[in-house]
Amino acid sequence: MWVPFDQLPSTARLWIFTSPSPLDTALIQPPLQEFVRTWTAHRQDLLASAWVYDDYFILLAVDEAQTSASGCSIDKATRFVQDLGQSLNLNFLEKRRYFYRNGDEPIQAVDHPTMQSAVQDSTVAENTLVADTLLTQVGDLHRLWLPFGQSWHRRLFGR
């Protein structure tokens, strides 16, 4: 069952899918809403929402206090997002995609080798904002963008 994203509790379970290029919200939001309206777990409606955030992130969330997302329902969501991506010739399931931004510059979506190079040549520095796409609760979205020096990215890229 669809609920506006801002009406979900902070404890709602969150999945973040990423795009290699900016998304057209007007194109993406209707199929996301339609999927969420019919999304179930063991034939029970899930109180859920979806939102395109910062043009690169598809946020899918479920209030599990109502009904828990099951393995099968999570698989349905992953297949839906994969199919949506294929229809747009985009891969929303790439796990080694990173995002950063410096000041007012546009968001950069890069692969692992490009991120490694950006860190090595200091394009990505201690205060460069990087996106933590591993967040698991809606209430954590306030820290989606963190300085590189305070993120897990720093450990991964050895700086």
Which structural domain, as residue segments, surrounds residue 53? 5-87
Residues 15 and 76 in one domain: yes
3, 60 contact by CB (below 8 A): no
Distance CA 57, CA 155 (A): 23
Residues 76 and 114 in one domain: no
Amino acid sitting at position 82: Q
Residues 73 and 115 in one domain: no
Residue 63 belongs to a domain: yes
User: Would you state the pLDDT for residue 159?
Assistant: 60
Distance CA 109, CA 6 (A): 26
Distance CA 155, CA 102 (A): 20
Q: What is the pLDDT of residues 114-129, one digit of tens each?
A: 999 999 999 999 999 9
Residues 72 and 110 in one domain: no
Residues 105 and 82 in one domain: no
Q: What is the pLDDT of residues 46-79, one digit of tens each?
A: 999 999 999 999 999 999 988 888 898 999 999 9
Q: What is the pLDDT of residues 92-101, one digit of tens each?
A: 999 999 999 9
Residue 92 belongs to a domain: no
